[in-house]
């Protein structure tokens, strides 16, 4: 039997029971879709995950990318994947019909992407990066730009990238120094360096299109002077065909994991012959880029959840098969050994993984629904979902990423020594996971985004809407006898959240300033995350209890009971951590702000 890396049943349970994604087809934009279409899309994604992605999972890690004569070589299967994703319409699936898309709800394409990520993260990023880059052109590019680039990108012939980071400007984007000099020929001349750019060069496609941040000569300092450009590796030549655009691959990084996908260092305009075309208006680059960035952040959370899912199923299978030890109450050494999964500590580690994987996936699905609703609704309603999505994006990015490290680590632990060895996939999942708290905005950045911007934006309106969403779920759960206790737990947690937030935003921020206010933003993000995932688990439990009321067959009943068990795990083992974190956050004396460098002498 092929190894399992996702649960089809859980995905469909989320789609149909927990989130009722079919509600979206009542809106004209999605009206060509139906429950059957969603199922067929997900079935196709599962098939592709199994046949197209998973068989190359190990090989792409063991035969990593290389830089040969200034060009990056990737596994030859990357070309096949890009072709299939193009031919299947996956790259522009969410785009409107006019641009060749399928107007697919993000919720469904996100869950498909989850399947690909779980099957083979390195292999899955090529197409999704192209989707993000093409999305920017689709939203903000000129008609001509769309005609030039979108067909090639959506067919998987050309790779798209997002090129932000520079040697001196990583998390600190205001320090971008790549210069764009205007010409009178409709293009700009670019010069500069970009580092850590995913898929910025490779031989699995015929060309690369960078969506790149640079400063137009003379632009204001800081983020207000950043513009967005399309910079192809090969540009359209005046006399037809393509010609080299002076975008040079200066090096690749040798990474801990995620080795099947190249991360490249780029030199732009080494021969002073690199042309870029402005997207939208000058100095609006960062605002535009944030559309892609928000999508990319959800994408990172999704990648982490996917990897954690594959690790969970690998460890689950092992713990069911491997016999080891006896119950503590069994003293007779001549009795047969029991399977690992019969030991409480192993069950705890399996539940930890499951709580992370499915709790994260639920939150990501929730975000995607908000995105879809924002798109089809208008006015206040649209704004409401936009605010909720904005608020939850840093959490949906970092909870799966940070907890994913613990989750894959628990996966290794379930296998003991074998988990640490290459013969089993766990160690690779662990390595592949580690990038996620780093790329597309580190956890530190996400914490500041959540506490410093999102909780306070529009006078705290997003935070207010979020509490209302929590209340809705609490009310629903309260009507179910068996969930009443958990509804109460979530309500208390929401109160603690409000109290801690008020302390930080009014007390600390007002009296001590931003340095103290945001010093422990990462701790706040962690604190917020446990509560947010508890909300999602309560939602799942409500649907599971309802499903059990219709007396399903035994196997199905176990499935729903398993969901309730995992909810209980989260409420019993993870949620109580907020009490300690609340103490840290409210009693903080700002020791990390006040600590001076000389105290780190040794």
Q: Phi first, then psi: what are they for 266, rounded to 5°?
A: -115, 140
Q: Which is nearer to another protein, 98 or 597 (CB)?
A: 98
Q: Of 21-29, 34-42, 171-179, 387-395, which part binds another protein (CB under 8 A)?
A: 34-42
Q: Which residue has the tokens 């103290």?
A: 516
Q: Which is nearer to another protein, 102 or 446 (CB)?
A: 102
Q: Phi first, then psi: what are they for 240, rounded to 5°?
A: 90, 160
Question: Of 217, 410, 245, 393, which is closest to residue 312 (Cα–Cα)?
Answer: 410
Q: Does 32 bind another protein (CB under 8 A)?
A: yes
Q: Is 440 a catalytic residue?
A: yes
Give the nearest distance from C-beta 37 to another protein in angstroms: 6
Question: Of 582, 440, 409, 407, which is closest to residue 498 (Cα–Cα)?
Answer: 582
Interface of this chain with another protein, residues 176 to 195, rule: CB under 8 A: none
Give the nearest distance from C-beta 90 to another protein in angstroms: 7
Q: How many residues bind another protein (CB under 8 A)?
A: 26
Q: Which is nearer to another protein, 544 or 582 (CB)?
A: 544
Catalytic entry in 113, 440, 526, 574: 440
Q: Does 99 bind another protein (CB under 8 A)?
A: no
Interface of this chain with another protein, residues 234 to 263, rule: CB under 8 A: none
Q: Does 34 bind another protein (CB under 8 A)?
A: yes
The site string for another protein over 58-77 (x = CB under 8 A, - otherwise) reads --------------------
Q: Of 41-49, 68-76, 119-127, 582-590, which part binds another protein (CB under 8 A)?
A: 41-49
Q: Of 27-35, 225-233, 336-344, 350-358, which part binds another protein (CB under 8 A)?
A: 27-35
Alpha helices in 284-343 (DSSP H): 285-321
Give the nearest distance from C-beta 33 to another protein in angstroms: 8
Residue 380 token pair: 């206040």
Q: Which is nearer to another protein, 22 or 283 (CB)?
A: 22
Pick the binder of another protein from 31, 62, 70, 87 (CB under 8 A): 87
The site string for another protein over 519-558 (x = CB under 8 A, - otherwise) reads ----------------------------------x-xx--
The site string for another protein over 551-570 (x = CB under 8 A, - otherwise) reads --x-xx--------------
Q: Torsion angle, CA of 411/414/415/421, rounded to 10 degrees? A: 40
End-to-end CA gap in the chain:
54
Pick the binder of another protein from 17, 29, 37, 444 (CB under 8 A): 37
Q: Which is nearer to another protein, 47 or 453 (CB)?
A: 47
Q: Which is nearer to another protein, 124 or 500 (CB)?
A: 124
Pick the binder of another protein from 17, 27, 55, 84 (CB under 8 A): 84
Pick the binder of another protein from 11, 14, 24, 48 (CB under 8 A): 48
Q: Does 56 bind another protein (CB under 8 A)?
A: no
CB atoms closer than 10 angstroms to residue 492:
12
Q: Does 98 bind another protein (CB under 8 A)?
A: no
DSSP code per residue over 249-263: EEEE---SS-TTS-E
Q: Does 2 bind another protein (CB under 8 A)?
A: yes
Q: Which is nearer to another protein, 76 or 514 (CB)?
A: 76
Q: Which is nearer to another protein, 90 or 571 (CB)?
A: 90
Residue 94 token pair: 């969410």
Pick the binder of another protein from 17, 27, 89, 339 (CB under 8 A): 89
CB atoms closer than 10 angstroms to residue 328:
8
Q: Please say whether the dihedral angle defined by the alpha carbons of residues 446, 447, 452 and 458, taken in this order, is positive or negative.
A: positive
d(CA 365, CA 115): 13
Q: Does 323 bind another protein (CB under 8 A)?
A: no
Spatial CB neighbours of 597, under 8 Å, sequence gap ≥ 6: none
Burial of 461 (0-12, 13-18, 19+ CB in 10 A): middle
Q: Which residue has the tokens 């592709």?
A: 48
Write 426-432 long-range contacts (CB < 8 A, 24+).
Answer: 426/311, 426/314, 426/315, 428/57, 428/58, 428/61, 428/257, 429/307, 429/308, 429/310, 429/311, 429/314, 430/257, 430/311, 430/405, 431/256, 431/257, 431/258, 432/61, 432/121, 432/122, 432/257, 432/258, 432/307
Q: Does 36 bind another protein (CB under 8 A)?
A: yes
The site string for another protein over 101-130 (x = CB under 8 A, - otherwise) reads -x-x--------------------------
Q: Which is nearer to another protein, 103 or 291 (CB)?
A: 103
d(CA 546, CA 456): 36
Q: Phi first, then psi: what are they for 161, rounded to 5°?
A: -135, 165
Give the H or E element holding residue 578: helix 577-587
Give the nearest distance from C-beta 50 to another protein in angstroms: 9
Q: Please say whether the dihedral angle defined by the alpha carbons of residues 31, 37, 39 and 45, taken in this order, is positive or negative.
A: negative
Give the nearest distance from C-beta 7 to another protein in angstroms: 12
Q: Which is nearer to another protein, 76 or 513 (CB)?
A: 76
The site string for another protein over 467-506 (x = CB under 8 A, - otherwise) reads ----------------------------------------
d(CA 205, CA 570): 44
Strands (E), 92-202: 158-163, 179-182, 188-198
Q: Which is nearer to another protein, 453 or 561 (CB)?
A: 561
Cα 288 to the center of its chain, rounded Å: 19
Pick the binder of another protein from 22, 44, 142, 586 (CB under 8 A): 44
DSSP code per residue over 4-42: P-S-HHHHHIIIIIIS-GGGGGGSGGGTT--HHHHHHHH
User: What are the residue numbers of the active site?
Assistant: 440
Q: Which residues bind another protein (CB under 8 A)?
A: 1-2, 8, 32-34, 36-37, 40-41, 43-44, 47-48, 52, 84, 87-90, 93, 102, 104, 553, 555-556
């Amino acid at each position: 039997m092929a190894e399992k890396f996702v649960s089809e049943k859980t995905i469909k349970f989320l789609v149909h029971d927990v989130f009722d994604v079919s509600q979206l087809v009542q809106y004209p934009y999605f009206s060509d879709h139906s429950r059957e279409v969603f199922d067929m899309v997900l079935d196709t994604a599962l098939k592709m995950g199994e046949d197209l992605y998973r068989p190359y999972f190990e090989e792409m890690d063991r035969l990593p990318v290389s830089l040969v004569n200034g060009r990056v070589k990737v596994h030859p299967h990357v070309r096949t994947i890009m072709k299939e994703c193009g031919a299947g319409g996956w790259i522009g699936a969410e785009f409107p019909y006019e641009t060749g898309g399928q107007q697919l709800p993000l919720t469904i394409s996100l869950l498909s992407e989850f399947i690909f990520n779980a099957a083979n993260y390195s292999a899955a990023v090529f197409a999704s990066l192209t989707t993000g880059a093409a999305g920017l052109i689709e939203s903000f590019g000129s008609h001509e730009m769309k005609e030039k680039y979108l067909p090639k990108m959506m067919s998987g012939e050309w790779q798209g990238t997002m090129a932000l980071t520079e040697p001196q400007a990583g998390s600190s984007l205001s320090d971008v120094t790549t210069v764009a000099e205007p010409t009178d020929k409709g293009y700009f001349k670019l010069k500069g360096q970009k580092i850590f750019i995913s898929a910025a060069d490779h031989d699995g496609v015929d060309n690369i299109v960078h969506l790149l941040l640079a400063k137009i000569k003379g632009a204001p300092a800081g983020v207000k002077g950043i513009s967005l450009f399309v910079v192809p590796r090969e540009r359209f030549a005046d006399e037809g065909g393509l010609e080299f655009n002076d975008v040079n691959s200066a090096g690749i990084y040798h990474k801990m994991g995620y080795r099947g996908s190249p991360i490249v260092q780029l030199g732009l305009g080494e021969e002073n012959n690199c042309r870029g075309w402005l997207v939208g208006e000058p100095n609006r680059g960062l605002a535009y880029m944030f559309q892609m960035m928000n999508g990319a952040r959800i994408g990172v959370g999704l990648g982490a959840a996917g990897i954690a899912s594959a690790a969970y199923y690998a460890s689950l299978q092992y713990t069911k098969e491997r016999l080891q030890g006896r119950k503590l109450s069994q003293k007779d050494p001549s009795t047969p050994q029991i399977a690992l999964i019969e030991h409480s500590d192993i069950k705890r580690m399996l539940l930890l993984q499951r709580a992370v994987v499915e709790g994260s996936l639920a939150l990501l699905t929730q975000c995607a629904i908000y995105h879809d609703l924002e798109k089809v609704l208008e006015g206040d309603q649209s704004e409401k979902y936009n605010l909720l999505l904005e608020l939850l994006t840093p959490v949906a990015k970092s909870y799966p990423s940070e907890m994913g490290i613990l989750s894959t680590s628990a996966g290794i632990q379930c296998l003991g020594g074998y988990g640490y060895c290459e013969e089993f996939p766990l160690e690779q999942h662990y390595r592949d996971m580690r990038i996620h708290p780093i790329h597309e905005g580190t956890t530190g950045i996400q914490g500041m985004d959540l506490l410093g911007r999102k909780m306070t934006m529009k006078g705290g309106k997003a935070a207010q809407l979020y509490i209302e969403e929590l209340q809705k779920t609490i009310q629903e759960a309260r009507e179910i006898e068996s969930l009443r206790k958990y509804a109460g737990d979530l309500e208390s947690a929401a109160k603690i959240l409000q109290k801690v937030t008020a302390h930080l935003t009014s007390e600390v921020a007002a009296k001590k300033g931003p340095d103290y206010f945001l010093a422990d933003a990462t701790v706040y993000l962690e604190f917020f995350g446990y509560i947010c995932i508890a909300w999602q688990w309560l939602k799942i439990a409500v649907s599971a209890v309802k499903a059990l009321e219709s007396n399903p067959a035994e196997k199905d009943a176990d499935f729903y009971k398993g969901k309730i068990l995992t909810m209980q795990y989260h409420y019993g083992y993870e949620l109580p951590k907020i009490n300690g974190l609340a103490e840290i956050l409210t009693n903080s004396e700002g020791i990390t702000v006040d600590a001076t460098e000389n105290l780190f002498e040794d």
